Chains A and B, each alone.
Chain A
């Protein structure tokens, strides 16, 4: 049993944007003490917790942090070092949903320091009493998930326990039961516990102390642990919310009221089809990354065809001189009717299958499709039709774009070989087979169109079917994405092979 006190001194946190969240704040959490820290939304509670747990994300920019964190004989200068003394139970649990409940605990135990093995396992067992170790995380209730998360954090052996919104999303019984368990852990293990929470009703009876993050003075100050005192303190701080609510209650139009009224006015439902179509067309075709991806793919293909076509052939010298015209005409014809459509199809179908499957998988996992049904929105029709049309348009347009960059790269490579020759000579031979084809050119274009259409329909169809299957976790979405890519690309290869055989069947 520990009798040590967590002490935070002169804590100042300034965000990368220069906003002071707290200035020279002091607070303590004693052994066997359960302390609540409260404050308005966005006041900086999570930032304080992240600072105490050494989890400030430096990718956001340069955080300015000062102050010390001490626990017994240990002390950390937060301006220069990260603290590893506080274990955090994240808001939303952050459980590894590709692992079972038991594996979630086991992985923490396997990475815990040896000193943590001496802790009494009794309180942890009480958290997991109604959960089977092999139980998938997806099948656990909200309360069970929260308790697994707490157990996982305790197993890791941190001397201090911090919880971020632990009762978020729990029913009142589960919330009270959880609060009791936390308090038991706190008393039995002598662990200081700090809880950041909005809904404190169930936690308040067990709290030893309540700290308020004062957004006016940017300090942390204690308030009496009763609801009346807390509400009065919070009302004084939450000015914006207070004003808005007062205005609504008094009938005064809120600043955004007119915008909300416009949103609530009825209109033609088909605009939502246009909205979804625009969204998919952008992400599947017109976004900069997609355009650059296909442009680059075409350019590399053009370079490779020309470079290796002329250079690394047994009769390379002849190809470059007396057989030049026919070699160039052959490369141009094959590149235009076979290679570029195939590579463009593979690139587009692979990428778009992933996007489609991820999009529909997330909609399935987050129950958006039932919500649409409930609101009488023909969501499936909007989404599926938009995807089919946008993907086919995407493949057609991007194949043309890839043809342009492939031809351009082929020309540049040819000019490296033959810097003295005029570009018109290249044009004459590169497109000769197509120009000489006459009316047969339309047949060739028809075959290319058929390959594109079938690849797009099969690829997007497979991605839609796989994406719409029930999803239990993020991992199942990941697996579905991988499956959609493999199946989509395989169908694309088969489509091109099938039509290529028909195209050149004599």
Chain B
């Protein structure tokens, strides 16, 4: 035992890192080069993983349209596949060839997984495609909300049109605009051309009568019927993208009532009822309706009056139930058709449709589905999508 002063060996130096084993400079350099080469190989591997590769012929399908060139598009068409749970993922790209054949290049990573989805639908990017790809529960929920909006819209329009505020403050202005619109439509050369077609066989006195009095009668009758058309179609128009049809009945009724006007009847009594049922007469009717709506759309007074109506608290109170139901519908659209919600997930189909809307793109899409899903979608979509026919690689569109 040694007595006396001594320092314990524990010190900070113990915590210093040990020196690495030393090798000869040549060995160190060779080791460094090897490690560098391994890292460079990792870089190359990373680049190989992320960069797109040339498509392989082993994963190519060919289709054709049943009616050639129903959809013409020169660019790359995105291809989607519907999975058993109705969710949709991207599956490849397609291009329409000069011979009308559609070449579909499947993604290597999904080609095997969805090998039984070999029926193809070609469609425009529209809400109806999203509607078709939505689950049945989402579709049921959306139908419920649309019905609610339609009911609320009909009630709201009824309340507004029959209110004192509207009758006294807005109706005169709107009537004036309508009168101008119909007059403009009547003076339109295309309407006049349709009228000329109708009058080709009429007597000269009748021609003068038609030109003078009919315009005045049309204006007064059609303006009165306008609100009936709005009341019905305002609500119905909301359902159009989901497969609902427009209600043309009010327009037809308005024109029928116009033609039944005693003054017009008097004018037309010698004209011959048979002539009013000809193709020329229908063309004249269409031109007046289309021309009126077109004139209204271009009338600068319309936005001002509509804005004033929108901000009018008296009218707004009448519209509130309708606006609430529209808000609820708008809130449900992204969730049920776009995959949005508290658990947001990517719906590439919704992303493509939204992009097409936002950028006014006309890029169509192809959806590959199983035969069972094809039947279901055909039943729902009607003419919103074209079912493509599978062809052999060497087979042309016309063969």
Contact = CB atoms under 8 A, between A and B. Distances in A.
B46 A58 contact: no
Contacts of B16: 58-59
B25 interface: no
A70 B4 contact: yes
Nearest to A326: B355
B351 interface: yes
Contact of A291 (B39, B49, B338): B39
Nearest to A72: B4
Contacts of B50: 404, 407-408, 410-411, 427, 430
Interface string A383-402: 00000000000000000010
Given A61-B18, A77-B2, A421-B90, A322 B49 contact: no
Interface string B340-369: 110011111011101100000000000000
Interface stretch (A80-88, A192-200, A267-275, A343-351): A80-88
B6 A81 contact: yes
Interface stretch (B95-103, B107-115, B208-216, B299-307): B107-115
Contact of B7 (A81, A282, A431): A81
A54 interface: yes
B35 interface: yes
Interface stretch (A146-154, A227-235, A312-320, A356-364): A312-320
B327 interface: no
A61 B19 CA distance: 8
A60 B20 CA distance: 8
A83 B43 contact: no
Given A73-B4, A422-B109, A422-B110, A321 B52 contact: no
Contacts, number: 156
B7 A82 contact: yes
> Which of B49, B93, B341 has most chain A Cβ within 10 Å?
B49
B44 to A, nearest CB: 8
A260 interface: no
Contacts of A80: 6, 9
Contacts of A292: 39
Contacts of A287: 32, 36
B176 interface: no
A295 B340 contact: no
Contacts of A420: 87, 89
Interface in A427-444: 427-428, 430-431
B276 interface: no
Contacts of A54: 7
B46 A404 contact: yes
B11 A82 contact: yes
B218 to A, nearest CB: 46
Interface in A32-65: 54, 57-61
Given A75-B3, A422-B110, A424-B109, A324 B36 contact: no
B334 interface: yes
B32 A288 contact: yes
Interface string A7-31: 0000000000000000000000000
Nearest to A76: B6
A68 interface: yes
B54 interface: no
A404 B49 CA distance: 9
Given A76-B6, A321-B351, A325-B352, A404 B89 contact: no
Interface in A128-142: none
Interface string A427-470: 11011000000000000000000000000000000000000000
A84 B5 CA distance: 9
B394 interface: no
B52 A424 contact: yes
Given A82-B9, A287-B32, A324-B351, A58 B14 contact: yes
A424 B46 contact: no
A425 B32 contact: no
A324 B36 CA distance: 37
B346 A321 contact: yes
Interface string B36-54: 1001101110110111100
A411 B51 CA distance: 11
Contacts of A322: 334, 338-340, 347, 350-351, 354
Nearest to A84: B7
B298 interface: no
B13 interface: yes
A295 B198 CA distance: 80
A74 interface: yes
Contact of A295 (B4, B39, B350): B39
A498 interface: no
B17 A59 contact: yes
A77 B1 CA distance: 9
A417 B345 CA distance: 8
Contact of B107 (A316, A410, A424): A424
Contacts of A70: 4
> Which of B7, B346, B347 has most chain A Cβ within 10 Å?
B346
Nearest to B350: A322
Contacts of A424: 52, 90, 92, 107-110
Contacts of A75: 2-6
A107 B9 CA distance: 25
Nearest to B78: A428
A488 to B, nearest CB: 24
B18 A59 contact: yes
B78 to A, nearest CB: 8
A144 interface: no
A325 B345 contact: no
A119 interface: no
A58 B107 CA distance: 60
A323 B14 CA distance: 57
B382 interface: no
Nearest to A299: B46
A93 B374 CA distance: 90
Nearest to A73: B4
B8 interface: yes
A472 to B, nearest CB: 29
A463 B35 CA distance: 28
Contacts of B354: 322-323
B354 to A, nearest CB: 4
Nearest to B50: A407
B46 A405 contact: yes
Contacts of B344: 316-318, 320-321
Contacts of A422: 89-91, 107, 109-110
A74 to B, nearest CB: 4
Contact of B4 (A76, A82, A316): A76
B346 A288 contact: no
Given A77-B2, A288-B35, A291-B39, A427 B351 contact: no
A68 to B, nearest CB: 6
A418 B346 contact: yes
A506 B46 CA distance: 35
Nearest to A81: B6
A99 interface: no
Contacts of A410: 50
Nearest to B16: A59
A373 to B, nearest CB: 28
Contacts of B91: 422
A261 B234 CA distance: 102
Given A325-B352, A408-B50, 7 more contacts: A76-B6, A81-B8, A282-B32, A321-B338, A326-B355, A424-B109, A431-B51
22 contacts: A54-B7, A59-B13, A59-B17, A59-B18, A75-B2, A82-B7, A82-B8, A286-B36, A317-B340, A318-B340, A321-B334, A321-B344, A321-B345, A401-B40, A401-B43, A411-B49, A420-B87, A420-B89, A422-B90, A423-B49, A424-B92, A424-B110
Interface of B: 2-9, 11, 13-14, 16-19, 32, 35-36, 39-40, 42-44, 46-47, 49-52, 87, 89-93, 107-110, 334, 338-341, 344-348, 350-352, 354-355
